[in-house]
Amino acid sequence: MIPELDHIFDNEDINKFEARMELIKDSSLTTADKEVYTGKYPLLPFRDEMRGTFGGEFVSQGILAAWATVKDPEFTPHSLHSYFIKNGVIESSTRWEITHISDGRNFSNRLAKAYQVHTNELVYTIQISFVRNNDSKKRDEIYQQQIAQGDAKIRSIPIQFSTKPGWTYDKYKDQVDDLPLFEHTHGHLQHVFPPEFFPAKDSLDLNAVGNHTFGFFCRFTDELALAKNPIKTKYAQIGLLSDAVILATIVNAIGLSLPEEKKLFRVSLDQTVYFHDFHFDPNQWLYLEYSFSTLGNDRTLVNCRFYTIEGKLFCSIIQEGLLFLDKKMVDHAKAAHENFHKQNKTESARL
């Protein structure tokens, strides 16, 4: 932690995350083609001993920087696409240069480029699309009003469906508070892993790992009620959660125990996030369900779905990460793979 943030983390009367993500507009660099904002404070690593900026911090502040240039208060993010280009560091803040791609009646689009202030290096890019009224409840209310008024030219008729969370959610959703809790990322985040998540496996078919679904519960500790702008803050908080812990659990997917993630080198390469609906509360328990669809050529692709504790899908994520595993970890996984096929008397496919 850096000393200049002590006054934030010691203050119980503010939303600490919102305060850390504060941006200052730089009018001297703003032109007709771009708006420029600079973070008031440096972005932080996932843990103090880690060397690079935590990718979720880029996502969070990038959302806020792009959003600062959208004037219509009814617009909220519905999708973003980002690339993690270089490591950020705590030696300086991040400068955001935002280009207006488009502004329409119902959609606006922004491209934000993040530069490390003291080196002027481009470290991250994010393109975000904003939409008017991404609120299923409000849309239904408008539709009912149109029906009551006899409107014959209704264009938007609400209808919904989505995937549902799996058995881990059903088993533990009513007892999350009774399970061991893991708090991390400077006290901002809490995770609860179901008991089935942890055991290392001595027998594992690596060819079937991509079909396996993982799930855990998580939430943000900073109270939205203390935020100056709770709507923007809750989206920024999901930005942090979108990159937290997920890649580290690849060790569990290949039969190792979760603590071994400290031996794993991993960085986010790119990420896509879709916000399906406005109604979510990061202070309440959320359920994250995901699968690693592929691992190869030092990269993994993970598909994630965020649900509210009531089981409503509100956000989807696709993320690619760069991974370098310790040789002992790889040897353990391959041995578990061979053991599986010996036990089941099947032929081990080439990995």
Measured CA to CA, the distance from residue 121 to residue 119 in angstroms comes to 5
Computed from CA positions of residues 227, 232, 237, 240, in that sequence, does the dihedral angle turn out positive or negative?
Answer: negative
- Exposed (0-12), middle (13-18) or buried (19+): which is 73, by Cβ within 10 Å? exposed
Examine the pLDDT at 350 and tell me if it is beyond 60: no
- Read off the tokens for 245: 């812990």
What is the rounded average pLDDT of the residues 44-58?
87
50 pLDDT band, cuts 50/70/90, is confident
The mean pLDDT value for 239-266 works out to 88
Strand-pairing partners, residue 266, are 323
How sure is the predictor about 207, in pLDDT bands with cuts at 50, 70 and 90?
Answer: confident
Q: How far is CA 288 from the centre of its chain?
A: 10
Confidence tier at 37 by pLDDT (50, 70, 90): very high
Domain 1-132 of CATH type 3.40.710.10: no
3-state secondary structure of 147: helix
Question: Taking Cα atoms as reference points, which of 2, 36, 37 lies closest to residue 21?
Answer: 37
Residue 115 has what pLDDT?
98
Extents of the domains making up the chain: 1-132, 166-351
pLDDT at res. 349: 52
Confidence of residue 3 (pLDDT cuts 50, 70, 90): confident
β-partners of residue 130 are 77, 108
Q: What mean pLDDT value characterizes the chain?
A: 92
pLDDT of 259 strictly over 90: no
Reported confidence tier of residue 90, pLDDT bands at 50, 70, 90: very high
Question: What pLDDT, on a 0 to 100 scale, did the predictor assign at position 1?
Answer: 63
Predicted local distance difference test score (pLDDT) of residue 182: 93
1-132 and 166-351 have identical folds: yes
Q: What is the pLDDT of residues 93-114, one digit of tens each?
A: 999 999 999 999 999 999 999 9
Q: How many CB atoms lie within 10 A of CB 81?
A: 16
pLDDT at 66 > cutoff 60 = yes
- Indicate if the pLDDT at residue 218 is higher than 70: yes
Query: Which tokens hold the place of 75?
Result: 């617009």
User: What architecture does CATH give domain 166-351?
Assistant: Roll (3.10)
Closest CA to 81 of 288, 319, 290, 282: 319
Segment 291-320 mean pLDDT: 97
The answer to whether residue 260 scores a pLDDT higher than 90 is no
Rounded Cα distance between 222 and 302, Å, is 27
Contact 245, 217 (CB under 8 A): no
Answer yes or no: is pLDDT of 83 > 80: yes
Give the whole-angstrom CA distance, residue 209 versus residue 310: 28
Mean pLDDT of all residues in 205-220: 92
Q: Is the pLDDT of residue 348 over 60?
A: no
pLDDT at position 347: 64
Closest to 243 (Cα-Cα) out of 56, 64, 82, 57: 56
The band of 294, judged by pLDDT with boundaries at 50, 70 and 90, is very high
* 327-336: pLDDT as tens digits: 988 898 899 8
pLDDT digits (tens, 9 = 90+) for 124-157: 999 999 999 999 999 888 889 888 888 878 888 8
Q: Which of 11, 72, 4, 74 has its CA nearest to residue 39?
A: 4
Q: Specify the 3-state DSSP secondary structure of 63.
A: helix
